[in-house]
Amino acid sequence: MTTENRGTVKVENGRYRVTGNFHYIYPNEAIRDADGNLIGVTNPRDVTHIHSYGGEAPFFENLSKGKLLGTKCANPKCDAHESIFIPYRIHCPDCLMRCEQIDLTELAQQGASVHTFMITERTGAFNTLEKPIRFVNVEFDGVSTILMGYLSVGEPVIGMKVVPIFQTKKPTYTIMDISWVPLGTVAEDLPEGFSF
Ligand SMILES: [Zn+2]
């Protein structure tokens, strides 16, 4: 079974141009009980998903450059005017106006703290983070929302100060490109490819 000619996507004139294969099927196997009776089969499949980022694309692009973007409601008539959102919201949830993009990198470097956390060995399919994963909910001064992330160094404590680190050497262009470490962590202790 081969997976050559795996699917790729290019954009021409604002449209996806899809070439290659996005689905592969592999030979199945019988599942039998202790007496040799057929119980079922495995169905190995390999699927390439196309994940469109839409208006959130600048957020992921900027993670790869070591920047954390958020958004802000810039509508003076909105009750939530000047509210800052991270995760990056394209539209204000109160007035539905398109939000303004703002750079929160410096704020995160100064004033982020662990709101709460969760340590887990059970991570779900295709999660490639090292186990146990230390998920942290990160709180920023002056920001209305809380960002979910993962701690790469040390053990999480509620209220502990953390700073962002970014995968800028080999970015994946996903949320995995940002992680958190305790304030005061030295560069030599960061995971491979990550920098402040
Ligand atoms: Zn608004």
How many angstroms is it from 181 CA to the middle of ligand 1? Answer: 32
Domains in the chain and their CATH numbers?
8-47 (no CATH), 54-195 (2.40.50.140)
pLDDT at 145 over 70: yes
Q: Tell me which residues have their CB within 5 A of the ion that is ligand 1.
A: 73, 75, 78, 80, 92, 94-95
Q: What are the pLDDT digits (tens) for 39-83?
A: 999 999 999 999 999 999 999 999 999 999 999 999 999 999 999
Residues 6+ apart with CB under 8 A from 69: 58, 59, 62, 86, 88, 101, 102, 103, 104
* Ligand 1 centre distance from Cα of residue 141 (Å): 19
Q: Residue 134 — pLDDT band, cuts 50, 70, 90?
A: very high
pLDDT in tens, 25-40: 999 999 999 999 999 9
pTM of the model: 0.87
